[in-house]
Structure 1
Amino acid sequence: MDDSREKQIIFKLQHEFPLIPEPYKKIADDIGIPENELLDYMIELKNNKTLRRIGAVLNHRTVGFLANAMVVWAVPAERIKEVSDIMISFPQVSHCYEREILKNWNYNIYTMIHSVSYELCDDIIKQISQMTNISNYEVLYSTKELKKSSMLYSGIKSDKNNY
């Protein structure tokens, strides 16, 4: 595949998909290639680990998740796997990351928890705390969404229709 075609495909894949029954066909048509060629290239990107996943971004506030909390936890290094496995078993936990402990910030596990109310969110946090036996944590509730977009990995422009 030539370099400009490759760039067009990457550009299209990193932007919003059309909300239609056959989004890959539309993307392929916009680029000017058959759908099976697009899909074969996506498989190649997946196999060489350039493309990890394609996922939907849910606007959680629109669907009723009004309480959204980042909870930071101080987890002993030797318990990270055990504790994070418990945390990710909760369907309300959308993200769970390990981060470096900083000089004046001793939290190393970060979870994002979503719920329909602050009370239910607090209950989930307490359940996680009890199940993991981790009581050293801070809750940071979102107050306003300032930006929500997917990461763009190239400034490649397409000569065809952009979404």
Structure 2
Amino acid sequence: MDKILTEQDKKIIRALQNGLPLVTRPYQSIAEELEMTEDELVEKIRSFITDGKIRRFGATVRHFELGFVANAMVVWDVPEEKVSETGRIMAGFKEVTHCYRRPRRPGWPYNLFTVVHGQSREYCAGIAKRLSRATGVTNYSLLYSTAELKKSSMRYFE
């Protein structure tokens, strides 16, 4: 894997991190701005993924604008020997957007965190109950967002 990025590579990354334009051929549009062909750009993106330079390539949904205004971080007290298995089960639920293992802290017994989004708190609580039934973990708490303060991705080569 070649770890050195060329100036053209950096330009491509800068262009991609701005999001895809809402046009019929977004890669063609970006390629034209970068003075390359669409095929060249797509091949370069594929090589970035293959080489591990890009780990993830996806879309960000603005859930508030779609009516998903109840956002809960569900914190779980999972026996240490079951955290990996439990995390895999919970992460498998389509309603779980994030699943993290974290160390316990004094006064904080929780070591597994999941995030769910819904149109109501009742919906989120129902998802938590389903996760609990699926894993047998019964000691959990739901923490709801009160405001979205920041939502942005890392920026590179600015």
Q: TM-score if structure 1 supplies the norm length?
A: 0.86
Structure 2 contact 132–138 (Cα < 8 Å) conserved: yes
Aligned alpha-carbon RMSD (Å): 1.8
Alignment-derived partner of residue 30 in structure 2: 27
Alignment-derived partner of residue 11 in structure 2: 8
1:129 matched to 2:112? The reply is no
Return the alpha-carbon distance in structure 1 between the equivalents of residues 103 and 48 of structure 2. Answer: 30
Unaligned 5+ runs, structure 2: none
Picking from 65, 68, 76, the partner of 1:65 is 68
Alignment-derived partner of residue 157 in structure 2: 155
Alignment-derived partner of residue 46 in structure 1: 49
Return the alpha-carbon distance in structure 2 between the equivalents of residues 27 and 100 of structure 1. Answer: 42
Return the alpha-carbon distance in structure 2 between the equivalents of residues 102 and 2 of structure 1. Answer: 40
Alignment-derived partner of residue 143 in structure 2: 140
Q: Secondary structure at the match of 1:79?
A: helix
Alignment-derived partner of residue 87 in structure 2: 84
Structure 2 contact 15–30 (Cα < 8 Å) conserved: yes
Q: Which has the higher contact order (CA 8 A, sep 6+)?
A: 1
Q: Secondary structure at the match of 2:147?
A: coil
Return the alpha-carbon distance in structure 2 between the equivalents of residues 48 and 105 of structure 1. Answer: 40
Unaligned 5+ runs, structure 1: 157-163
For these two proteins, the number of residue pairs brought into alignment is 155
Structure 2 contact 10–157 (Cα < 8 Å) conserved: no
Alignment-derived partner of residue 102 in structure 1: 105
Greater than 6 Å deviation, 4+ residue runs: none
Return the alpha-carbon distance in structure 2 between the equivalents of residues 140 and 2 of structure 1. Answer: 42
Shift of residue 2 of structure 1?
A: 7.8
Shift of residue 149 of structure 1?
A: 1.7
Return the alpha-carbon distance in structure 1 between the equivalents of residues 81 and 71 of structure 2. Answer: 28
Return the alpha-carbon distance in structure 2 between the equivalents of residues 48 and 155 of structure 1. Answer: 19
**Aligned-residue identity in percent:** 42
Q: TM-score if structure 2 supplies the norm length?
A: 0.89
Alignment-derived partner of residue 20 in structure 2: 17
Return the alpha-carbon distance in structure 1 between the equivalents of residues 49 and 119 of structure 2. Answer: 35
Shift of residue 77 of structure 1?
A: 2.0
Q: Secondary structure at the match of 2:60?
A: coil
Return the alpha-carbon distance in structure 2 between the equivalents of residues 60 and 21 of structure 1. Answer: 24
Return the alpha-carbon distance in structure 2 between the equivalents of residues 11 and 53 of structure 1. Answer: 15
